[in-house]
Chain A
């Protein structure tokens, strides 16, 4: 939990990825957790035709009073990137002291595969070179190790849980309790995924000199 913040400040979290990755679900969980903390909450998406492989960005803002639902460039406290190039695309939205939590997964769209555009050679190195605080890890591999590739979403939420203005346990409870009610068989593995992500999210990524 990060407490060195103005209590009146609005917290801005930008969740980005590709249609079908669970970006909007992750943002929904963050909004719900903030709601339980008594904040005013707004969540908005830009996902016009995202189901068709397009870019998804979901903005979550919470604080004592939130007006505009959109996070402006340079105003995000946290960037959660579900894919490496998408994290790179959205880094200008971060504050200079913001944190980028990135899944190292790389997904090249057909126009890249077809040779019309190039996938960035090393999106993470470029991201780290901006001087921002970057935490990158392979969430897919963690999920595989847990025996369920669908745990990426919960792993990413666990990873950012110690960078929120409220205790990580609150977010964890929100996620795990949700599963207890709707899919009890998945509650336990989600709790473990959350903790696995939480541990992975602590390590800051540096470029080799």
Chain B
């Protein structure tokens, strides 16, 4: 079958991202099942696998489920793959930590993407720890070509050694487009079917215990395999003063910065091929380990008595790009390099904003105008509510944490929280990923939190993927759609306390939040407008401001809509003789998609549709202005 993906190529040289290369490799390797939950920078792996009809692929509700789906397929004898971002590995770990003990049948590959440099993540983790923790081999591609080759190799290693294999990518591999040559067609690996064997697959203490020595034995076999693997290779160099041991994207930076230095490039980096390392170390004057991000290889070298430099000179976080490596390491050669000082351009920052017509704007307008709230947040576009101008999100930790942390904040109230109401803000996909349990827990333990379930019918931040709440599956095919009202009622929220609201109807949103925070029991307020970047969004006629009618109250600016700008500021005397600041607004009608929210903030009816005559507006919303 030809590759159905659209990409540029010349003869057999294809321009592919690391994520695209993983998908191609999975297809060629005969994978039959693939599962993932979206997460930057791994999202496109499954989106590309979905283009291959030979592979059953799905968006799972979370990463643990995705890995379990892949494990089940493997036990049936199918080659299977699960993909996730680094923090997804934390969620998935319960599944693979035990399955690594039991082992696998069909090749099982876990592709994890570490967001080195935090382009779009809440932390920076080194997922290579999981290989050491769970006794699983680690492969580390440095570019798209290697991502392709190593995913294919990973399936082989997994089957030979009956172990899940981790392919550790980083943002600078996932999202870099580079040349890939792929020769092969798909090689089918038909599944023989599940062979019942309770002693092997039922991990009771009695069955698990005998697996422990086998797992440790397997570590030794894997180490021998790493010693013999051509995924680890030495690049000879003419200048042997410095010799580098490196893995992943850091290899490219080393090669760029020290083109003549010998390099031991570790692709199969765990278990570490110590004999190769010793031989290499003996061949160079000074050994340097360059790895992103934690000193894992380096620590093992030191434990083995091998003298090396590494994190004593290099940062333990962030990308080790050439402009980091050169100034840190050139002094070892007696060549001091000034740390490049970028000229200060003084240009303002441009933080991400919510979009015009974003259905989260309404709820955040409400939250930013209601006093005495502790607002516990979650992972998604609505995390932006922590920023200007709303300043209406007080925590963000991990997927699903909003409900449980709010519950804990309620139970652990301090003296200054006495009059505070607890609000949890979570999106549809995050709620289904890991938020439901927090709600069930809160109900069971008689907590009292007002939950804003912002259902925009998509996984917004990662690019609008489907989830069980959208009515479509990964392939865009109609799928059963969860009913959030029934779901939260089933978890125990009283029907009277489940309120649905159109987030564009600002007065209703403000009124509902005000009502529900006063209740002495959990409430769930569910919004029902789609993400304005998805096909589900319906554009309306754009609005404009009649300048002569604008009184400068600034209410519409408080919405935080990126299509509304401050036109000018003036000061005016108040009745009491003080001076008040006026903020006159202007709407960029080309960016406005006509959601109508700003109209509801405008008492003087200065906001009108661009082409149609002014609409009679509803009673303008009354807000108390204060700093949150």
Which residues of A approach B to under 8 Å, CB–CB? 18-19, 28, 31-32, 35-36, 38, 40-55, 66-70, 72-74, 85-86, 88-92, 108-120, 123, 130
Q: Is the CB of B340 within 8 A of A68?
A: no
CA separation between A113 and B8, bound complex, in Å?
A: 41
Q: Is the CB of B178 within 8 A of A42?
A: yes
Q: Is the CB of B352 within 8 A of A49?
A: yes
The residue among A31, A54, A72, A88 with the most chain B CB atoms within 10 A of its own CB is: A72
Interface code B20-50, partner A: CB below 8 Å = 1, 0 otherwise?
0000000000000000000010000000000
Q: Is the CB of B10 within 8 A of A36?
A: yes
The residue among A48, A66, A74 with the most chain B CB atoms within 10 A of its own CB is: A48
Nearest A residue to B41 via CB reads: A48
Count of chain B residues near A, Cβ 8 A: 53
Residues of A within 8 A of B569 (CB): 115
Q: Is the CB of B340 within 8 A of A74?
A: yes
CA separation between A88 and B345, bound complex, in Å?
A: 7
Q: Does B5 contact A (CB under 8 A)?
A: no
CA separation between A90 and B352, bound complex, in Å?
A: 18
| Cβ 8 A contact of A52, one of B13, B253, B381 | B381
Nearest B residue to A114 via CB reads: B566
Known pairs A47-B119, A72-B322; list 19 more (Cβ under 8 Å).
Answer: A19-B352, A31-B177, A32-B15, A43-B15, A43-B176, A48-B119, A49-B352, A52-B352, A53-B355, A54-B350, A67-B255, A69-B172, A74-B340, A88-B347, A89-B345, A92-B342, A110-B353, A114-B566, A119-B348
B156-164, B278-286, B298-306, B557-565 - interface stretch: B557-565
| Cβ 8 A contact of B350, one of A40, A55, A66, A74 | A55
Interface code B333-361, partner A: CB below 8 Å = 1, 0 otherwise?
00000001011011111111111000000
Q: Which of B528-572 contact A (CB under 8 A)?
A: 533, 557, 560, 562, 564-566, 569
Nearest B residue to A56 via CB reads: B350
Q: Is the CB of A92 within 8 A of B343?
A: yes
Q: Is the CB of A35 within 8 A of B345?
A: no
Nearest B residue to A178 via CB reads: B8
| Cβ 8 A contact of A117, one of B348, B352, B384, B463 | B348
The residue among B256, B354, B560 with the most chain A CB atoms within 10 A of its own CB is: B256
CA separation between A36 and B257, bound complex, in Å?
A: 27
Q: Does B123 contact A (CB under 8 A)?
A: no
Nearest A residue to B384 via CB reads: A52
Q: Is the CB of B566 within 8 A of A73?
A: no
Distance in Å: Cβ of B358 to nearest Cβ of chain A: 9
Q: Is the CB of A110 within 8 A of B562?
A: yes
Q: Does B321 contact A (CB under 8 A)?
A: yes
9 of the cross-chain contacts (CB-CB < 8 Å) are A32-B8, A40-B179, A42-B177, A42-B178, A45-B175, A54-B351, A68-B253, A109-B351, A110-B564
Nearest A residue to B561 via CB reads: A110
Residues of B within 8 A of A70 (CB): 172, 319, 321-322
CA separation between A88 and B346, bound complex, in Å?
A: 9
CA separation between A67 and B253, bound complex, in Å?
A: 7
| Cβ 8 A contact of B345, one of A41, A49, A91 | A91
Residues of B within 8 A of A49 (CB): 120, 352, 461
Q: Is the CB of A53 within 8 A of B347?
A: no
CA separation between A35 and B351, bound complex, in Å?
A: 34
Distance in Å: Cβ of A15 to nearest Cβ of chain B: 13
Nearest A residue to B117 via CB reads: A46
Distance in Å: Cβ of B302 to nearest Cβ of chain A: 27
Q: Is the CB of B178 within 8 A of A41?
A: yes
Residues of A within 8 A of B562 (CB): 53, 109-110
| Cβ 8 A contact of B347, one of A42, A47, A85 | A85
CA separation between A130 and B349, bound complex, in Å?
A: 21
Q: Which 10 A-B pairs have the closest CB atoms?
A: A52-B352, A117-B348, A48-B119, A68-B256, A49-B352, A48-B120, A89-B347, A113-B565, A32-B8, A67-B256
Q: Which of B309-340 contact A (CB under 8 A)?
A: 319, 321-323, 340
Distance in Å: Cβ of A160 to nearest Cβ of chain B: 19
Q: Does B409 contact A (CB under 8 A)?
A: no
Q: Is the CB of B13 within 8 A of A68?
A: no
Distance in Å: Cβ of A21 to nearest Cβ of chain B: 12
Q: Is the CB of A109 within 8 A of B342?
A: no
Q: Which of B421-435 contact A (CB under 8 A)?
A: none
CA separation between A16 and B319, bound complex, in Å?
A: 20
Q: Which of B105-143 contact A (CB under 8 A)?
A: 118-120, 143
Q: Does B97 contact A (CB under 8 A)?
A: no
Q: Does B447 contact A (CB under 8 A)?
A: no
Q: A32-B8, A73-B323 are in contact. Are A109 and B350 (CB under 8 A)?
A: yes
The residue among A18, A31, A53, A54 with the most chain B CB atoms within 10 A of its own CB is: A53
Nearest B residue to A44 via CB reads: B176
Distance in Å: Cβ of B536 to nearest Cβ of chain A: 16
The residue among B255, B345, B350, B557 with the most chain A CB atoms within 10 A of its own CB is: B350
Distance in Å: Cβ of B399 to nearest Cβ of chain A: 17
CA separation between A85 and B354, bound complex, in Å?
A: 21
Q: Which of B245-297 contact A (CB under 8 A)?
A: 252-253, 255-257
Distance in Å: Cβ of B603 to nearest Cβ of chain A: 21
Distance in Å: Cβ of A90 to nearest Cβ of chain B: 8
Nearest B residue to A174 via CB reads: B8
Q: Is the CB of A52 within 8 A of B178?
A: no
Q: Is the CB of A111 within 8 A of B120?
A: no
Residues of B within 8 A of A51 (CB): 352, 463, 533
Residues of A within 8 A of B349 (CB): 111, 117
CA separation between A89 and B461, bound complex, in Å?
A: 25
Distance in Å: Cβ of B360 to nearest Cβ of chain A: 11
CA separation between A121 and B373, bound complex, in Å?
A: 40
